[in-house]
Amino acid sequence: MNFLNKVPLKIRLLLEILIIVAIVVVYYFFSYKPQVEEINNLKKRYDRLALSVAKLRPVQLSYDKFKKELQIVENQFKMVLKILPNEKSYNVLYDEIVNLAENNGLKVTLFQPTGVKRIDDFHSAVRFKINVEGDYLSLVNFIYRLNYLNKIININDISINPYKDKAGNFVLRSNINMNSYMFNVSGSGAKK
DSSP classification of residue 71: H
pLDDT 10s digits, 103-113: 999 999 998 88
3-state class (DSSP) for residue 166: coil
Q: Which long-range contacts (CB under 8 A, 24 or more apart) does 115-118 make?
A: 116/182, 116/190, 116/191, 117/190, 117/192, 118/184, 118/189, 118/190, 118/191, 118/192
130: closest CA among 103, 150, 157, 149?
Answer: 157
Query: What is the structure's pLDDT at 187?
Result: 47
81: closest CA among 2, 6, 182?
Answer: 182
Query: What is the structure's pLDDT at 106?
Result: 93
Superfamily per CATH, domain 88-183 = Ribosomal protein S6/Translation elongation factor EF1B (3.30.70.60)
Which residues of the chain fall below pLDDT 70?
Answer: 1-4, 53-62, 80-90, 185-192
* End-to-end CA, the chain: 101
Q: What is the pTM of this model?
A: 0.51
d(CA 51, CA 34): 26
Helix 90-103 to helix 136-146 angle (10° resolution) is 150
Query: What is the structure's pLDDT at 109?
Result: 92
180: closest CA among 154, 144, 158, 161?
Answer: 154
